[in-house]
A = this chain, B = another copy of it.
Amino acid sequence: MRHTISVLVENKFGVLARIAGLFSARGFNIDSLAVGETQDPAVSCMTIVVNAEDERILEQIKKQLHKLIDIITVIDLTKKEFFERELVLVKVSLDKSNKANLEKIAHKFNAEILHSDKESAIIEAALEEKNIEEFLSVLKEFGIKQLVRTGKIAIPK
Contact = CB atoms under 8 A, between A and B. Distances in A.
B154 A151 contact: no
B89 A87 contact: no
Contact of A37 (B14, B114, B126, B149): B149
Contacts of A86: 36, 87, 150
Interface residues of A, number: 52
A88 B34 CA distance: 11
Contacts of A85: 87, 89, 124
Given A24-B13, A144-B39, A33 B34 contact: yes
B36 A6 contact: no
B29 A24 contact: no
